[in-house]
Structures are given as structure tokens and as C-alpha cells.
Amino acid sequence: MDTNKKSLSFMISELKRFFKFFFSELKPKGKVFTPFNIITGIIMLTGAVLLVIRFAFGLGTITNLSQEYPWGLWIGFDVITGVAFAGGAYVLTFIVYIMRDEKYHPIIRVTVLNGFLAYVFYAGALLLDLGRPWNVINPIIGNSFGVSSVLFLVAWHFLLYMLAEFIEFSPAAAEWLGWKKTRKVLAGLTLGAVIFGITLSTLHQSGLGALYLMAKAKIHPLWYTEFIPILFLVSSVFAGLSMVIFEGSISHKVFKHRISEEIHRSHNDIVIGLAKICAGAMFVYIFLKALVFVHGQHWTYLNSGWGLWYLVEMIVFVAIPCFIFIEGYQSKKINLIKFGAVLTLIGIILNRLNVSVIAFKWYEAVRYYPTWGEIVVTLAVISAEIWVFRWIVNRMPILSDMPDWAKRQDQIGELESVTQKSESLKWKASIT
């Protein structure tokens, strides 16, 4: 009985300590009234008002969505483009944890955090576009699975991938809270979560492209192909890594006081290495697009405004950035690589919007275009993600070194792993 009372007392004291610490961490660090905070604050407040109107009076009050155009900017940019930008997480975790390339390990936490937040906010933006958002849980709870829809696959992949990324990121949160035992358990789950997450990510990146296989007659032939899922997957590689270069460059300046010496020292080498991978993936993408173009016999479409628009996307925002990455890698020009990353990100936005919005129902006289309300809500989603990202990076060991006790845990874990492998080899040798 006394033991139970002691346990209960300990739990209560720990909860009090946790909430006291958590609320103290909610206080802003640094100046509150900065130009960035004021502008993004106004955008988020305006977006919140618009969303209240949207949920109170329906989609038609602040959007141009209709039965003819049920998907607009919120799906085309927030979800389809945002998920491609989050691709850096599954690519880098594969390189670091599966291929054991430690070169990129210093940025793995910030990359996973970016990917996790992108899914939470961009995939979460899907709720804004649903006429009855409360039904979003139906594919999960079984009320109406909808197994014949590709969205069933995408919904489950999104949910499970967010859980996998949360587990990958959670050791950093445990270090922030000082939860040593919990951190040890979570760190032990990381490799399994990484393998699970990579599998899911490759499937849903292509799954988003598969959604458009059902719209063959509605998408311009220059953008429609039965290989859209493969093209979405391949392009998510260089889209995600370009976002890592772009965000990493900004974080390097904004969070200078939080960045560890290891990241400072390896920043340029990491950017150059990412440029090499981007160039390789873009070359594969261009090759696949050329195959689709030639086999589809699309030459006649080039002699039109749509053909010119297609060439702008492929030459200015894919081929040229590919050569920029190659030149940047060979000459070690960091700024040139960053410029290539920006062009690539613009190209991905164009590609995803071309497939989902611009070249969708291209033959109609009356076309969809987003209202100012849709644009403001999209900017509000991006602003909110940046605020949360900044809050986490300023408090948790994302860019800074992990605590010494966490390093010792990892070293002990590695020693135990080596010992187990050695004993396993001895056992195999003894039975052969």
C-alpha cells in the first residue's frame, strides 16, 4: 500500500515538474515584434478568420471550388507539392541508417523534423478541402473503408508515415525533457521506424501520382502518362533534397547560435553531396520524361501555348538546374548549388500544379483559379509550420549537440550491438 502511495506521489510530482517545465518553455525566446512575426502573425490571423467562415458556411464562401473543379490550390500545392518537398526525410534516412553513410548524419534530425511537420501541416490541410471533414477517419476506423479508392491507400500511408517520423524524431524530444529511460527505448525503435517509413514513403509518393491515373481524359497529354506514379516518386527525391539544401541554408543563418560545430564544419560538404544526388535523380527523371514524350508521339503538342509551357517546365526548371547541380558539384560552388535548388523547387511547384490544376481540364473555356482567400490560407499553413519549426529548433537538440548522457547511451548501444554480432558469428562458426 505504501509502495502504491509512493508511486502515485512520484507520478504527481513528475507531472507537476513536466507541466512547469513545459509552460516555461512556451515563453518566446528573443524579440516578439519582429517584421517576420508581425507579417506572418497577420497572415495566420486572417487565415484563421477565413477558416471559421469556410467551416461555418461551406467551401464556396471563400474558394472557387465547385463540382467541376473539386480540387484546387489546397490539394495541388499544400498536399501534392508539400508531400514532394517532404521527400528529403525518407531519402536521407535511407542513406544514413541503411547505407550507413555518416556524412549526412549531422542534418538527419532537422530533415526528419521538416518531413514530419510537412506531413502534419500539408497533409493536415487536406481537411480544409473536405466537404465533410469529420468523415476523414472513416478509412481508419472501418466505418467506410473505401478499399477500392487510391485515397484509402494514401490515407493509411499518411497516418502510418507520420507515426514513423514521430518515432524517428522522438529521441530528440526525450532529450529535451530529460527522460533518459524513455529516450533509450525510443532510440531502439529508430531503425525499425526508418525501414517502415521508407517503405511507406516510396509507396505514397507514387500513390499521389496514381490518383491522377483516373483522370486521363482531363489532364493535358503532355502531363498525363501511365507512368505518373514513377515520375512522382523519382521527382520527390530531388524535390526533397533541394528543400533540404534550401531550408538548411536558411537555418544556417537564422539558427547560427544553435548549430553545432559539427554541422558548421560539414555544411559545405553536405550541400555538395546533396547536389550530386539531385543531379543523378534529375537525369533519371529527364530520361523517363523523354521516353514518355517520344513513345507518346507528343511532337505535335509542342506547336502550341501548352507545348511552350511544357518546355519552360522541363528546360528552365529541370534540365538547367540539373546542369547547375553538376557544375556546382564539380566546381564546389555552394551559392550556385543553392540557386539550382531554388529553381528545382519552383519546377516541382509548376509540375505538381500543372498536373493537378493548370493542365487539368485544359480544354474548358471557364477554368479554375484560386481566390485570394485560398492563397491566404495556404500562406497561413506555411507560416504556422515555420513558427512550430522555429519553436522546436530553439528548444530541442535538433541542430545542436545532444546531451552527454544521450551520447553515452548511443555508445553503449553500439557496443552491445557489436558484441551481439561477434557472439552470433562465433555461434555460427561453432556449428559449421
Question: Which letter, b or e, does each residue of 304-334 get, where b requires 16 or more Cβ atoms within 10 Å of its Cβ?
Answer: eebbebbeebbeebbbebbebbbebbeeebe
> What is the number of residues in the chain?
432
Pairwise CA distance, residues 103 & 106, whole Å: 7
Task: Give the pLDDT confidence of 377-386 residue by residue, as tens digits.
Answer: 999 999 999 9
Tell me the three cell numbers of residue 343: 529553381
Under 8 Å between Cβ of 262 and 108: no
Quick check: 307 pLDDT over 90?
yes
Pairwise CA distance, residues 303 & 309, whole Å: 11
Distances in Å between the Cα of 23 and the Cα atoms of 28, 70, 183, 339, 340 are: 11, 42, 21, 40, 42
Task: Give the pLDDT confidence of 160-182 residue by residue, as tens digits.
Answer: 888 898 999 899 999 998 888 89
Cell 473539386, residue? 70
Quick check: 328 pLDDT over 90?
yes
Q: Is the pTM of this model over 0.85?
A: yes
Q: What is the pLDDT of residue 153?
A: 79
| Residue % of the chain over a pLDDT of 70 | 98
The full DSSP string for 261-321 is HHHHHHHHHHHHHHHHHHHHHHHHHHHHHHHHHHHTT-GGGGSSHHHHHHHIIIIIIIIHH
Tell me the three cell numbers of residue 136: 476523414
Residue 293's closest CA among 234, 220, 357, 356? 220
Pairwise CA distance, residues 363 & 428, whole Å: 67
Under 8 Å between Cβ of 115 and 90: yes
Residues 6+ apart with CB under 8 A from 172: 109, 113, 396, 397, 398, 402
Q: How confident is the model at residue 211 (pLDDT cuts 50, 70, 90)?
A: confident
Q: What is the pLDDT of residue 111?
A: 92
| Residue % of the chain over a pLDDT of 90 | 50
Q: Higher pLDDT residue, 25 or 288?
A: 288
Q: Higher pLDDT residue, 78 or 235?
A: 235
Quick check: 142 pLDDT over 80?
no
